[in-house]
A and B are shown apart, each in its own frame.
Chain A
Amino acid sequence: MTHASPTPTKKYDLNFARWVYENVDGGDRMALCMQCGTCSGSCPVGQQMDYGPRKLFMMIRAGLKEEVLKSNTLWNCVSCYNCVVRCPRKVPVTYILHDLATVAVREGYAEAKESDNSRFAKAFWWSAAKYGRTDERLVTALYYFSFGMGEGYKRGMANMPIAMGMVKTKRMHLGMPHKCKNTGELKKILAKAAEIEARSHAGGAGNANPAGGTAGHDK
C-alpha cells in the first residue's frame, strides 16, 4: 500500500527498525526483544529458516532490510505459536513474521512473491475468500499451475495416486466445491477488514491490525 518502509543507508541506521516498531503488527513489543533466543530454540521449523526469529529481529535493528525481507523466515513460519508462548518479553513473534511477509510482498521483493509458500498462501486465500472454505483440489491445482502449465501438469500427475486414494477413502469429494452458508456476508467481512487495514497503514502510526488477520491478504 502507500506507506513504504524506509531503506537504511548504513549499518544500524535505525530508520527501518523504527518503522517496523511502528507499522508492523506487534512491532512495538519487538523493541523489548532481549535476544535470548528462546523463540529460535523453540521453533519446530527453525532449521528450515534462513535466520531464526531472534537473529531476524537483530538484523532489523542492524538495518539489514533487504536480507530481512528476502528471507524465507517470513514464509516458513507455520504459526505454531511456540515462540509467542515462550518469549519472556511477550514479543508476538508470529504476528511480526506474518506481517513482515505482507510487507515483503507489498514492497515487491521478488523472492517473496515467487516463494513456494507465498504461492500456496495465495491459492489458499483465493479459495478461503471465495467459498469461505478451502477446496483441496482447487487450492492444489492453483498452486501447481502457478509454476506454469508444464510444471503444473507434472506435479498434478505425480500426486494423482494420492488424490485417488483420498477420493476412495472419502477424504476428498468430486463435484462442486463446498461453500459456507452465506458467502455474501463473508465478502462484507473481508471488505471491512481490508478497509481497517488500509486505514491503519495510511495513518502510518500505530498497529491497529486485527490480530492474526494479515496472513497472505494481498488482493
Chain B
Amino acid sequence: MSERKTGVYLCSGCGIGEAVNVATLEGVAKSEFRMEPKTHACLCGDEGVGMIKADIDAGVNQVIVAACSARVMTDRFAFEPHLTIRADLREKVIWSHPAGDEDTQMLAEDYLRMALSQAPKVTAPEPWVDGDYSQRICVLGGGVTGLTAAKEAAALGHDVLLIERSDRLGGHALGASKRLPHRPPYDSPEPNDVDALVAAVKAESRIVVKMSVTVTKTAGMPGKFAVTLSDGSVEDVGAIVIATGWRPYDATKLGHLGYGASPDVVTNVEFEAMLKAGRPQRKSSGQPVKSVAFVQCAGSRDPNHLPYCSNVCCATSLKQALELIQADPLTNCYVIYEEMRTPGVAEELYRAAQKAGVIFIKGKVKGVGADLTVTVADELVQADIPLQGLDMVVLATGMVPNSTNPDAAAEEYGADLLKGDVDPEAPIKVAGYCGSEPGAHERREQAIPPGGPLLNLQYRQGPHLPVLHDGFADSHYICFPYETRRTGIYTCGPVRRPMDWAEAAEDAQGAVLKAVQAVRSAAAGAALHPRVGDLSFPKINYNQCTKCRRCTVECPFGAIDENAEQYPQVNATRCRRCGTCMGACPVRTISFDNYSVEMLTTQIKSVKIPDEFSGKPRILVIACENDAVPSLDMAGIKRNSWSAHVRVLPVRCLGSVSLLCVSDALSVGYDGVMLMGCKPGDDYQCHFVKGSAMAAERLSKIGETLKSMMLEPERVVQVEASIADADRLPKVIDEFVDRIMGIGFNPFKGF
C-alpha cells in the first residue's frame, strides 16, 4: 500500500456544534495527533462529501469521519477502495448526554481519540481470491423440499446437482393420500401434487439428478467444495443445500400407547398409506374402519421421547379424520389431545373438522387394550372415560430430523466434537453478572438422531453438521434461518424444524437464495451473513503461532483446519469474519487488515483517564456491533441517557475480545469493564452462534487474573443485550457504574 494519508472530517451538524465545542475537538486532532481536521456543518450533504472526495483526489487514502453513528449514512461516507473510520459524536454523545457539559465534551474528545488512534493500525482490506469457483449448487434430498430447492436454484440460473438416497424422487410425499390445505379457504385436504413437482425437476436441463447415492465425503469450502459420492464420482459444487427431511419416530417405543398391542394400532404414516390405498380397513378383520381414535403427541412433547412439538401431526390427524368423514359421514372420529396445535391457517382445518363432527377429547391416554379400548383421563368431563368399540387407533407420531444419515454408521471421529458442539451454553457463571442474570443451566442431554454424518465433512472440527439439543440441524429459527454452523451449507425443510409441505417448499426457496449468495460472494472474496460483503479475512502470523489450536477449536464455523506442519490454516470462504479466532489466540497473532487486538487496545489506551481526585471514573463498555451497538444507538435516538463516564468500544463480536483487551483496560486505569453482547446458549441470539458464549467462558477464567492483580472480580461483567433493549441498557450501564463507584477507584490509575 502506498503511504498512508489520513483525512479527518468533523461534522458540526445535527446539533453537534451546539452541544460540544468543535474547536476543542479540532485541537485534539491537531495537538495530539498532528492531523489537520476539516469541519463542515453538514458533512453528509453534497458539499461535505464533495469536500472529502476532493481531498481523496488530492491523495487522501484513509478517511476519518467524526459525525453520526457508523450505522447510518454508510452510503454517503463510503469511499471505496479507501477505508472510512467513523467516530460517533451524535447517537452516543450529544443525543444521550447533556449539551454543554464538561463530561459530554470529554466523551466526544475520547471518541475522536479512539478513531484517530486506530488509523495507523488499519488498512483497507484486500479480498482473498484464489483460482476458480464453482457456481453449481448441490441439493441433498429429493423430497418436496429438495425438489423445490433444485427447481428454484435452476430458475436462478445455477446448475444443480440433486442427490437422493432412495431410487425415487418425491420423498415422504409419495406415500401421502392428500396434502394439508395450502390455499384458500384452507379448510379441506388438497390433492397430492408431488408428481407435477417431480416432473418439473426432471424436465429442467440444468438439474442433474443422481439417485440411490449418498455422500461419502465433502472437502473444501464455499465455492470450492469437492463432494465424493457413494458411486465413486467426485463433484465440484459451490454451495450445498441440505433438504434431507425427516423420519417418523420409532413407534415400537410407544408401547404405552398400545403400539404392538393390536395390529389395529397404527402410526399416522401407516394410516396415511392406507388412506392412499383406498378405504382403510381393519388389519385384524378386513372390516372397513368406522370408528377411529387419533392419539395426538404420540412421542412428541414427551421428555422421554421427543421433547418438542412436531408441528404437523395435529393438522395431519384433522386431515385424516376429514378424509374419512368425506368418504362416509357417519364415521366416528375422536381426536385425543392435550393441546391442539394448528399454527396459522391450519385453524381453518380445525374448524372444518369440528363442523364435520369430529369429537375432540382433551386428556391423556392412560392405556390402550388389545380390544382397542382406549382409556382417557378426560379433562373436560373430569373423569376417566373408556372409549369402546373402536376399529382403529392412530398414533400421531412425530418427526425425527434427518440431520444424520440413518443408513450410515455413526462416525467415531468427531463424535465428541459434535457432542461438545451441541450446546454452546456451557453452565457458565460469570463473576458479577449484571442485568438479568442467566440461570446456571445444566448442559442439556442432546438427542442426536442415530446415523452417520450426512456430508462427512473433512473439517478439523469433525465430519458432522452441528445440531441443536433436540437433534435438529442448527439454524436460528427466527433471526437467521437456513444458516448452519458450516458456511455455504444451508438447511431447509423438516431437517431444521418440523414443518409441513407448503412451509418446506417456502423454506427451500429461502435456503436457495442463501446458497446463491454464498457462491457469488465466495468468488468475490466477500463475507456472508452477518458481515455481508466484508472483504477482510483473518491472517495468521506463523512466526508467533505456538500451535496451541485455540483458534481451530473455537471458530464457530469450523473454518480453520491444520496444515501439514500442524499450523492453523484458515479456509477463507468458510470464514464469517467474527474474529473469535483473534480473541482466542493467546499470543495475538491473528488479525484482519482492518481489525486486530492491537487496533482495539490502541483505542482503549487512547482514552484520557482522569485521576481519582477528579471524581470521574472511566468504564469501558465493549459492545457487540450486531445488537448491542444498534441498541445503544436507538437509546440515543430516543434520547435515553446514561453515564458520561462510559466509553463504548464497538467490536465485531464478543468472541473477538481477547482477555488482553480487558487486562490492558484495567492496567491503564479503567475502573470497570462491561462486555455487552447477544444471548448465548441453545436459543442463542449471537450472530456468530458461539461468540458470546466463548466470551463468557473466557471471562469465567479472568477471576484469578484479577485477583493476582489485586482487583475485585466484580469489576468485569458480561451482560446480554438484544436489539430491543434501548430502554434497558442505559439503566444496566448506570447500575454498573454505581456498583463500581461502590467498590472504589481502580488503584492502577496513574501508573
Contacts and interface: CB of A to CB of B under 8 A. Distances in A.
Chains A and B form a bound pair: yes
A62 B357 contact: no
Interface in A1-28: 10-14, 17-18, 21
B608 interface: no
A14 B332 contact: yes
B388 A10 contact: yes
Given A34-B354, A62-B381, A11 B359 contact: no
Nearest to B356: A31
- 4 shortest A-B CB distances, which residue pairs? A58-B380, A10-B388, A11-B385, A32-B354
A217 interface: no
A160 to B, nearest CB: 45
B41 to A, nearest CB: 60
B637 to A, nearest CB: 41
B389 interface: yes
Contacts of A13: 389
Nearest to A61: B359
A89 to B, nearest CB: 8
Given A11-B388, A12-B385, A31 B378 contact: no
Contact of B361 (A12, A21, A34): A12
Contacts of A54: 380
B380 A55 contact: yes
Contact of A35 (B380, B388, B389): B380
B381 A31 contact: no
Contacts of B382: 55
Contacts of B359: 12, 14, 17, 61
Contacts of B355: 31-32
Contact of A31 (B354, B385, B387, B389): B354
B348 to A, nearest CB: 13
B276 interface: no
B360 interface: yes
Contacts of B378: 58, 62
A62 B354 contact: no
B360 A35 contact: yes
A54 B379 CA distance: 12
Contacts of B351: 32
23 contacts: A10-B386, A10-B389, A11-B385, A11-B386, A11-B387, A12-B334, A12-B359, A12-B361, A14-B332, A14-B359, A17-B359, A18-B357, A21-B357, A31-B354, A32-B354, A35-B360, A35-B380, A54-B380, A55-B381, A62-B361, A62-B378, A62-B381, A62-B385
A6 to B, nearest CB: 14
Nearest to A11: B385
Contacts of B332: 12, 14
- Chain B contact patch, size range: 10 to 19
Interface in B373-399: 378, 380-382, 385-389
A214 B56 CA distance: 91
A59 interface: yes
A97 interface: no
Contacts of A11: 385-388
B220 to A, nearest CB: 54
B365 to A, nearest CB: 13
Among A11, A17, A54, A62, max chain B CB count under 10 A is at: A11
B381 A64 contact: yes
A214 to B, nearest CB: 24
B362 interface: yes
B321 to A, nearest CB: 13
Given A10-B388, A11-B388, A14-B332, A59 B357 contact: no
Given A31-B357, A32-B354, A35-B380, 9 more contacts: A12-B332, A12-B334, A12-B387, A13-B389, A14-B357, A31-B354, A55-B380, A55-B381, A58-B380
Among A12, A32, A33, A64, max chain B CB count under 10 A is at: A12
Contacts of A33: 354
A62 B381 CA distance: 8
Nearest to A67: B381
A61 B359 CA distance: 7
A10 B385 CA distance: 10
Contacts of A31: 354-355, 357
A180 to B, nearest CB: 43
Given A10-B389, A18-B357, A35 B381 contact: no
B536 to A, nearest CB: 56
A65 B323 CA distance: 29
Contacts of A17: 359
A129 to B, nearest CB: 38
Nearest to B385: A11
A53 to B, nearest CB: 12
Interface string B54-65: 000000000000
Nearest to A33: B354
Among B360, B380, B386, B388, max chain A CB count under 10 A is at: B380
A173 to B, nearest CB: 50
A14 B360 CA distance: 12
B689 to A, nearest CB: 41
B340 to A, nearest CB: 9
A59 B357 CA distance: 15
A122 B362 CA distance: 39
Contacts of A14: 332, 357, 359
Among A31, A34, A59, A62, max chain B CB count under 10 A is at: A62
A11 B361 CA distance: 12
Contacts of A18: 357
A122 B644 CA distance: 82
Among A21, A33, A58, max chain B CB count under 10 A is at: A58
Interface string A46-86: 00000000110011011010000000000000000000000
A8 to B, nearest CB: 11
A34 B335 CA distance: 13
A69 to B, nearest CB: 16
A55 B351 CA distance: 19
A55 B361 CA distance: 12
Contacts of B362: 35
Contacts of B386: 10-11
A61 B389 CA distance: 16
A61 B360 CA distance: 9
